[in-house]
Every structure is written in C-alpha cells, then in structure tokens.
C-alpha cells in the first residue's frame, strides 16, 4: 500500500476512501495504490489534515478489509 500524488486537471468529485464523503479534488490529489500501482481511491483533505499516522492507521484497517 503506497501513496501517489497526482496533479489534477479539473474539478472532479471523488469519494474519500476513509470517510466515504464526497469531495472536490484540488490541483493535487492523494491517491492510495497497491504495489502494482493500481489505484484504490482518493483521500480527502479533511483526512489528510488529520496527519500521516492517522491516515496510515485507517488504511491498515482498509487493507485488512480487502484481504478478509
């Protein structure tokens, strides 16, 4: 599980992987992807603002759900 920052070309409405809220993406998007580079989804700014450790913890829970 890794992060990828991508530049955005326009306003896109996305659903946050962690809090499931819809949000508008800015110029920079934080995308979660696996080691093969396949994207799982975006993370919203509120969740990013909670800090890297918190995000990492939520994503651990998320990946456990994926494997279950």
Binding pattern for the stretch 21-60 against Zn ion, x by CB under 5 A and - elsewhere? -----------------------x--x-------------
Is 44 within 8 Å of 16 (Cβ atoms)?
yes
Q: How far is the CB of 66 from Zn ion (least distance, A)?
A: 18
Give the number of residues in contact with Zn ion, rule: CB under 5 A: 5
H helix or E strand, kind and range, residue 8 = none
Please give the residue ranges that form the binding site for Zn ion (CB under 5 A).
16, 18-19, 44, 47
């Amino acid at each position: 599980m890794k992060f990828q920052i991508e530049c955005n070309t326009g306003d896109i409405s996305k659903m946050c992987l962690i809090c499931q809220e819809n949000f508008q993406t800015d110029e920079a998007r934080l995308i979660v992807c696996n080691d093969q580079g396949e994207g799982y989804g975006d993370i919203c700014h509120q969740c990013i603002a909670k800090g890297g450790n918190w995000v990492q913890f939520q994503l651990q829970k998320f990946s456990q759900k994926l494997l279950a």
